[in-house]
């Protein structure tokens, strides 16, 4: 790899670190190509990606970045898993680590916040963006249905009273 290619790679990595909601760093020693393809497919399904990069180039890309402390995690055979949605990337990484003992999460970053393995696990336990939106929509819709029920209740009560009076008058 010549200097121009390295500079281009450092620039790409810098954009990944700056624009991703979460970057998870993990060891992948001993994983087969099929396992790595499986991880890539799972990350793609949630809008993320997996990248293997030279640690030295990744550390250069981290310089001046809010998540620069993540450079301490870059040693050995490391892989970067990243997504815009912080929860989705952490969930896929955590689930994959449970299923594959060769994929070991070292930590990561969420914006400028450093995450240790427990931090990645905590982020993975949070509801995803879609789940949060669904909860908000249901909370917004619940009062409206309650109001509609309350408004409709007096009318149905009056109708039942009138029908009872009518029945008594007819009898």
Q: What is the sign of the dihedral through the CA atoms of 49, 53, 57 and 62?
A: positive
Q: Are strands 78-83 and 104-110 parallel, antiparallel or unpaired?
A: unpaired
CA dist 90 and 99 (Å) reads 14
CB 83 within 8 A of CB 111: no
pLDDT tens for each residue of 65-119: 878 888 888 988 999 999 988 888 899 999 999 999 999 999 999 878 888 999 9
Tell me the pLDDT tens digit for each residue of 112-165.
888 899 999 988 888 877 777 887 887 777 666 666 665 666 666 666 776 778
CATH architecture of 3-126: 2-Layer Sandwich (3.30)
pLDDT digits (tens, 9 = 90+) for 136-151: 887 777 666 666 665 6
**Which residue in the block uniquely carries the two structure tokens 């509801």?**
127
Q: What pLDDT sits at residue 66?
A: 79
User: pTM value?
Assistant: 0.72
Give per-residue burial for 25-47: e unless 16+ CB within 10 Å, then b.
Answer: bbbbeebeeebbeebbebbeebe
The token pair at 2 is: 């010549």
The reported pLDDT for the residue numbered 81 is 93
Q: So where are the chain's domains?
A: 3-126, 127-171
Residue 51 CB partners (closer than 8 Å, separation 6+): 13, 16, 79, 80, 81, 82
């Amino acid at each position: 790899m010549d200097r121009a290619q390295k500079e281009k790679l450092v620039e790409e990595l810098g954009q990944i670190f700056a624009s991703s909601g979460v970057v998870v760093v993990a060891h992948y020693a001993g994983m087969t190509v099929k396992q790595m393809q499986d991880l890539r497919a799972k990350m793609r399904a949630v809008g993320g990606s997996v990248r293997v990069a030279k640690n030295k180039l990744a550390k250069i890309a981290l310089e001046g970045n809010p998540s620069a402390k993540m450079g301490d995690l870059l040693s050995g055979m490391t892989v970067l898993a990243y997504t815009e949605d912080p929860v989705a990337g952490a969930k896929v990484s955590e689930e994959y680590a449970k299923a594959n003992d060769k994929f070991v999460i070292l930590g990561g970053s969420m914006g400028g916040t450093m995450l240790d393995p427990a931090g990645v696990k905590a982020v993975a336990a949070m509801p995803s963006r879609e789940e949060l939106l669904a909860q908000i929509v249901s909370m917004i819709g619940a009062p409206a249905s309650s109001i509609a029920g309350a408004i409709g209740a007096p009318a149905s009560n009056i109708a039942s009273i009138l029908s009872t009076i009518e029945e008594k008058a007819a009898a």
